[in-house]
Amino acid sequence: MDAAQKERIFSRGVAETIDESEFVKLLDAGRPLRLKVGFDPSAPDLHLGHAVLLRKLRQLQELGHQVVIIVGDWTAQIGDPSGQSALRPMLSAAQVLENAESYLEQFSKIVDRDKTEIRMQSEWFGPFTLANVIQLTSKFTVAQFLAREDFAKRFKANQPIAITELLYPLLQGYDSVAVESDVEFGGTDQKFNLLVGRDLQRMMGQRPQQCLLVPILVGTDGVRRMGKSLGNYIGMNEPPNDMYGKIMSLPDESADPDPQDGKTGEERTRNTVLDYFNYLTDVPTAELIELRDGLADGSVNPMELKKRLADELVVQFHDDDAARSARNHFERTVQRRELPEDIPIYKISEALDGKRVSDLLVSAGMAESSSAAKRLIDQGAVKKDGQPLTANEPVTTIADSSIVQVGRRRMIRATRPPKAV
C-alpha cells in the first residue's frame, strides 16, 4: 500500500486510530483484514453521520479487505447508551428485524453488499446461557463502567442506569471475539466500547483488534451531533430536493459536536461545509486547502461552495439528473421564491373540518405529531398562502387551492371535495 493510500485511510475522516503503527503493519502484511462494524437497527433510517464511517469501510474494502457488518438484533433491544443522558426505551424483536432490512438496503449505497459478510448477533447470543453471562460480566467491574463520561454524569445526577445498559459494551465487545475482528470502526463516542472489545479478545487468546474512530458529524443546526431524534439529520434516503435543501441550510460555521476532544471556546468552531467536504466527498485534500484559503480571502463564494457540496452529495446518493433537478428546484423556490411546479395535492376530508391546523399537518405528513406541529406553528414556520398560521386556527379557514407551507421545502395544495347540492 503506497503513501497516498495510507494518507487517504488514516487522515481523511479519521479522529483517532488505536493503534496506528500496528494497523499499518497489518495492512503491509498483505492478508485480508476482517473489518468489523456493528449497527443497532434502533431506527429504520441511516443519515450522513453514518456515511462517514461507511465510506471508510468502502475504501478498505476496495483494497481487498473483508467488511463484516454485525446486525445488533440483541443490543438494539437495549439501545446503545453511548453519549446518552437518559434511559432508552427497549424495542421489540419484530421492530428490530424490520429496521435491520432497511439498514442493509441503505448500506449498499456505499458498501458493496455482495462483498460484505453480514452476521446477526443472535448467532452467538442465542445459545448463551446464564453461566456464559456470569463468566462474561466477571471480566469487568462496575467502577470501570461508571468511569465512562455518559454513565458518570447520569450517576452523579441520580438518573437511572439500567443493568442492561451496563451490559451493552460487553455484548458489543464480545461481538469482536465471535467474528475474530482485526479492526473495529465506530464514532468517537464509541471508544469505550471498542476498547472493551480489544480487552476481551486479549483475555480470550485472540490478537486485540485495532480501533478506527471517525469524527462526529454536526447536524443541520450547527450545534449538536447529527441525529434523527434531534431533528437535525440528513437521511441517506432523503428525496433529492429535501437533501439538497437541507445541505443548503447548513450554517457556515458550527461547534465541534465531539465533547470528548478537549477543545474549548474558539477551538471548537469549525467550517461546517469544509467538514462535510472532508468527511463525505473525494475532493482532494489539496483542493480543500485552497477552498479554505479562498473563503478566508473572499475569492470563494460561500453560497456557490455550498451548492457544489449539495451537488456532490445528491449525485453520490442519487444521480446526476437528480442533482441538476434539485439545484434548479432550490434556485427557483428558495432563491427566486417561486412556487414549485409539482406541489403535492392534499384532499381535506370533512372529518378534519372540526379540527385545528395542527391536526391537518399531522394528517398530511408535514409533522410527526400534534406537539411537533404546534411547535412549528409557534415558531412561525407554518404559512397559508404566504401568511403565518396560528396554533388555534381551525381547518375550515383553509380554502380550496390554498398553499399550506412548512418552512421553505414542505408544502401542499389543499383541495376540498365539492359540496353536495
Helices (H), 38-129: 48-61, 93-107, 122-125
pLDDT at 148 > cutoff 80? no
Q: Would the CA dihedral through 158, 164, 170, 175 be positive or negative?
A: negative
Q: What is the DSSP string of 295-351?
A: HHHT-S-HHHHHHHHHHHHHHHHS-HHHHHHHHHHHIIIIIS-PPPTTPPEEEPPGG
Dist. CA 263–CA 269, nearest whole Å:
9
CA distances from 131 to 40, 102, 199, 308, 377 (A): 25, 34, 20, 56, 55
pLDDT, mean of residues 61-88:
70
pLDDT at position 407, please? Answer: 79
Please state the CATH superfamily assignment of the domain spanning residues 345-415 in this structure.
RNA-binding S4 domain (3.10.290.10)
Residue 336 CA: distances (Å) to CA of 18, 251, 332, 339, 341 = 50, 20, 5, 9, 14
Domains in the chain: boundaries: 3-214, 228-335, 345-415
Rg (CA), the chain: 24
pLDDT of residue 223: 87
pLDDT for position 91: 61
pLDDT, position 205: 94
Average pLDDT over all residues of the chain:
84
Cell digits for 60? 478498505
Separation of alpha carbons 146 and 165, rounded Å: 11
Of 15-29, 133-147, 291-305, the range with the lowest mean pLDDT is 133-147
Residue 47: pLDDT over 70: yes
Say which residue, 208 or 12, is predicted with more confidence: 208
Does 217 or 334 have the greater pLDDT score?
Answer: 217
Q: What local confidence, expressed as pLDDT, does residue 81 receive?
A: 47
Q: Provide the 3-class DSSP secondary structure of residue 139.
A: coil
Average of pLDDT values for 355-375? Answer: 84
Q: Which residue has the cell 392534499?
A: 346
Strand partners, 271: 253
State the fold for domain 3-214.
Answer: Rossmann fold (3.40.50)
Q: What is the pTM of this model?
A: 0.75
d(CA 365, CA 227): 20
Measured CA angle at 218 (ends 96, 120), to 5 deg: 20
Cell output for 90: 427497549
What mean pLDDT comes out for the span 249-278?
Answer: 72
Q: Tens digits of per-residue pLDDT, 171-184?
A: 899 999 999 999 99
Q: Return the higher-pLDDT residue of 65 and 261.
A: 65
Q: Note the maximum CA span of the chain.
A: 83
Helix then strand then coil, % of the chain, to nearest 5: 50, 15, 35
Q: Which of 39-53, 74-88, 331-345, 388-402 has the lowest mean pLDDT?
A: 74-88
pLDDT at 265: 42
Of the candidate ranges 120-129, 159-168, 218-227, the one whose mean pLDDT is the lowest: 159-168
**Domain 228-335 is found in CATH 1.10.240.10:** yes
Residues 280-300 have pLDDT tens digits of 999 998 999 999 999 999 999
Residues 6+ apart with CB under 8 A from 28: 1
Per-residue pLDDT of 78-125, as tens digits, reads 554 444 444 445 566 677 777 778 888 888 899 998 999 999 888 998
Q: Kindly tell me the sign of the dihedral angle through the C-alpha atoms of 104, 108, 113, 114.
A: positive
- CA 414 to chain CA centroid, Å, is 33
Residue 155: CB atoms within 10 A of its CB come to: 14
Sheet holding 403-406, edge to edge: 345-347, 410-415, 403-406, 382-384, 387-388
β-partners of residue 345 are: 413
Average pLDDT over residues 196-223: 93
